[in-house]
Structure 1
């Protein structure tokens, strides 16, 4: 039976959602019970941020860089870079991963920020033959998380750069302000190398000689606890209102906004705006808007009105279908065939989901983290 949260706009398209007797979802209750008490954006947050910045500066003395920041051209990473350089004087190694799907706006935003901040940009271009084969394998698998090749590449390069340059601090744009509600794992399960290897063995045809794969163990345990590489999310310790932040970026840098979160990638726009809603019946805006409702940046009425609009510009659907098919060197008809094939999910392939769930619970207990990027 269909149900929507009476306080947010998440609904039963999330297979793990739960409701109380008043129709209020677990996401609403979890925010006030677990997330809000940790979220410090006032004087306490400022003190934490300043202490961490001093720690980063001290660790970077005598080095070319004192931290590393990945820049996608989206609002979160752009605003974080702006604040940490102009207000806190950090010297980041700024890198960007080009997996072949950058939008024109993303390129513009990256270029204008790097130029006006006077920074150098380190760009890692992923081997396109490997990206293409990996991407096609994900389509052929039938599972939801077809954006896995980009996600894996970004994470892998991030840690490669940190290791290569001896940088101990990674600054991440994840934030409570816009990401306090987690996406359902069923639609965003992408970091399991066992699953990826199984899918590539069945549907891939190119040897992944240079793809920057990394394991969860490497990222979550080896790098932080053995190599001492620490992740820090500065946006959680300062006021971050997305509309105001984007206006500030526009005014200072000529930065251009996107129609929706994550749309700096042309493929992610296709995946989140079209593929997930039409093939799997899941609209990511429900999570995004619910996060903004909880943090006072949108009303539930505004969110419901926006959800009445299609998640994807109808005029772009055929255009993007043709573009993505041509780039992958397949026909639009073949791509539509993948859209109509039987639905699959990560449990249809080899996976380590049980172990990851145990690791998430342990991490939540020991490090106060949660899946989804907010902490």
Structure 2
């Protein structure tokens, strides 16, 4: 039996969707990170200079307005740290939070602590409990890996609509491709049409009145009509999550919640139980690979951690089951049932691919995120 091929510079192996290895044994995801570092001069003086010029433009365009940018916050490390940096750069941010009603107590308290300590205004959109539960139930019964997709889409729609409401053109996001890694293509796809189709097929509520879904028309409206620029400052900087946490604790009393995405119960359920059990998807390889690439951990140590099984909190599983009105047998049937992907439902994927030349232009103008272009605008025929 032949050995499984593993990338020379991370821990992604041949089972990762859409992976390719070059002559040096390095995977396409590591090469993508290398290219992004070049494109954004990440951690280099040139990168910081580019970012500072963007910051100055934000200040210029925001003159006379109460806020010159909006920052989406979750209570996690990156977005909370970005609030501190925004003030250091002389910006006047409005913090925006999408509450899917599944926040951990730590996350909710972190948002309060950080915005209060920094004296930053907070705008929150709270989803109706019934709608939240109906969306999550729908994705479970659809049998797809993207259980928490409605949160990701809803968050972006709230951020963009709030920016429009306050006449703000710049959206800053606390994401670092160096620290968080690169999610494999093909297993983590979602868009507004996907969410609408799944809810139509499996939802119990006829209409979602408070859920902020993002249609293709709205997505293009934010980019082409409102000209909202999507900026990820951490892509330019030498960023350390560990140092960010220390600063947050010192400055605001912020508290660490135990791991990537664990600040929200729905995300924690997805990463620690649903995806590992039903799909054998263990997303720890994202951050572990990032640590190996960055030299923070040896490949051997990362693989040793990755070989240890993911252990979900029984209380969390019970919480999800009860909240979604599922019996133990219901949940067992779901995780043992048919596995589906986004290809089994209606999406905008083919449309995004056809419009790739347009989106390439919009990426250069910073009107859509680079990550969107890389993940959504290319065919994924080999990733099924």
Query: TM-score, length-normalised on structure 1?
Result: 0.91
RMSD: 2.2
The equivalent residue for 2:359 is 363
Alignment partners' CA distance in 1, 2:357 and 2:282:
27
The equivalent residue for 2:246 is 247
Does the 8 A contact of 1:192 with 1:216 survive in 2?
A: yes
Alignment partners' CA distance in 1, 2:39 and 2:296:
19
Does the 8 A contact of 1:360 with 1:370 survive in 2?
A: no
The equivalent residue for 1:339 is 335
Number of aligned pairs? 367
Does the 8 A contact of 1:147 with 1:267 survive in 2?
A: yes
Alignment partners' CA distance in 1, 2:374 and 2:262:
19
Describe the superposition over 1:36-58 as per-residue Cα deviations: whole angstroms up to 9, x where unpaired: 21132232222222221121112
The equivalent residue for 1:178 is 179
Match of 1:156, SS state, is helix
The equivalent residue for 1:270 is 269
The equivalent residue for 1:68 is 70
The equivalent residue for 1:96 is 97
Alignment partners' CA distance in 2, 1:373 and 1:109:
32
Alignment partners' CA distance in 2, 1:236 and 1:30:
13
Does the 8 A contact of 1:148 with 1:190 survive in 2?
A: yes
Structure 2 residue 347 is matched with structure 1 residue 351: yes
Does the 8 A contact of 1:116 with 1:253 survive in 2?
A: yes
Describe the superposition over 1:187-224 as per-residue Cα deviations: whole angstroms up to 9, x where unpaired: 2111141x3222222111211123211124532x3212
Does the 8 A contact of 1:56 with 1:67 survive in 2?
A: yes
Alignment partners' CA distance in 1, 2:372 and 2:255:
25
The equivalent residue for 1:35 is 36
Match of 1:95, SS state, is strand
Does the 8 A contact of 1:138 with 1:146 survive in 2?
A: yes
Per-residue deviation, 1:297: 3.3
| Unaligned residue ranges in structure 1 (runs of 5+) | none
- CA 1:362/1:280 → structure 2, altered by over 3 Å: closer, same or farther? farther
Describe the superposition over 1:211-265 as per-residue Cα deviations: whole angstroms up to 9, x where unpaired: 211124532x321222121111111222211112112212222222232211111
Alignment partners' CA distance in 1, 2:202 and 2:216:
23
Alignment partners' CA distance in 2, 1:38 and 1:304:
29
Alignment partners' CA distance in 2, 1:374 and 1:57:
29
Match of 1:371, SS state, is helix
Equivalent runs, 1:118-129 vs 2, <5 Å: 118-129=119-130
Equivalent runs, 1:1-375 vs 2, <5 Å: 2-32=4-34, 34-40=35-41, 41-85=43-87, 87-181=88-182, 183-193=183-193, 195-206=194-205, 207-219=207-219, 221-313=220-312, 316=313, 318-359=314-355, 363-364=359-360, 367=363, 370-371=370-371
Alignment partners' CA distance in 1, 2:109 and 2:298:
31
Per-residue deviation, 1:79: 0.9
Per-residue deviation, 1:273: 1.9
Alignment partners' CA distance in 2, 1:364 and 1:312:
41
- CA 1:289/1:372 → structure 2, altered by over 3 Å: closer, same or farther? farther
Query: TM-score, length-normalised on structure 2?
Result: 0.89
